Amino acid sequence: MAGQTVAAVRRQYAEELGFNKKAVAVLNGIRVSGHRESATILHDDDTLVFRMAGHRVAYLIGALLMAFAISGGVFASGFINSTNTLSATVKDYNFAEVSANTTVPASWEVVGGVKGATGNATMFDVDTASSGYTGDLSITITLANLDELTPIYRSMALSIELRDGGGNLVDINEDGNADAGDFAVLTLNNGAVTLPFEQTAAQVYTVWLKRGTYISQTHSSNWASGSASPQFFCEVAQR
């Protein structure tokens, strides 16, 4: 408590020790008047007691406070302590790695005012084999250049599916079956789709564009500010 004022100690301990505003501060046996508490600084070896005057209950509180007599020397003497360190080890890899997969590319030409198809394509590899992570995952695919696409496309619907290391479909609608219904549709309106799934084993998954269709805008000078090539962003998270 050394270095603190009597007023500060009163504020700190009044509630904890249960004395009220009428308690009188007594420093080294000498009463400290209320208006001097803010200016009275405690030093080592000072003994400060808050006393309640009056009836029997107050006397008992006073006795209790005597037991808790606040001494600069006592409070400056430190405390008994111990330490415990939990063990965490750093590994030099991520739980999953993501990379673009261009093994099967898709390309198409866009003219104004038509319905067209994109074909299928590989998009991303998601690798949990390297880390050995076997927990559940969530893969989010986002269209990263909507601003460039919208001058050229009136609409676009891209069916996205996930295949495991053996080329088999992965259950991403969580109905317990991996089948042709397991795909999500990424459009210019939703801008992003999430593929949640449970792993049975760590492996390398591939995000596929199953098929895609579009309707182009009527050709105009706005096309000069756009791009017909969609750009995708892939993010993997634990579930």
**Which residues would be at the binding site for Ca ion (CB under 5 A)?**
171, 173, 175, 177, 182
Q: C-beta of 184: minimal distance to Ca ion in Å?
A: 11
Between 27 and 178, CB nearer to Ca ion: 178
Between 42 and 193, CB nearer to Ca ion: 193
The β-bridge relationship of strands 192-197 and 137-143 is antiparallel
Side chain identity at 127, as an amino acid letter?
D
- Return the structure tokens found at 131: 């880390």
Q: C-beta of 163: minimal distance to Ca ion in Å?
A: 13
Between 173 and 217, CB nearer to Ca ion: 173
Between 175 and 235, CB nearer to Ca ion: 175
Point out the residue whose Cβ comes nearest to Ca ion.
Answer: 171
- Return the structure tokens found at 71: 């001494």
- CA nearest neighbour of 225 among 122, 136, 152: 152
Is residue 236 helix, strand or coil?
Answer: strand
- CA nearest neighbour of 199 among 170, 227, 179: 170
H or E element in which residue 123 lies: strand 121-127
Between 9 and 186, CB nearer to Ca ion: 186
Q: C-beta of 114: minimal distance to Ca ion in Å?
A: 33
Q: C-beta of 174: minimal distance to Ca ion in Å?
A: 7
- CA nearest neighbour of 209 among 103, 119, 138: 119
Q: C-beta of 139: minimal distance to Ca ion in Å?
A: 15
Q: C-beta of 172: minimal distance to Ca ion in Å?
A: 7
What is the spatial distance between Cα 60 and Cα 53, in angstroms, rounded to a whole number?
Answer: 10
Place of tokens 């409070």: 75
- Return the structure tokens found at 53: 């005057």
Supply the DSSP string of 181-205, one letter for each residue. T--EEEETTT-EEEEEE--SS--EE
Q: C-beta of 221: minimal distance to Ca ion in Å?
A: 45
Between 78 and 167, CB nearer to Ca ion: 167
What is the spatial distance between Cα 199 and Cα 234, in angstroms, rounded to a whole number?
Answer: 18
Q: Do residues 148 and 223 touch, judged by C-beta distance below 8 A? A: no
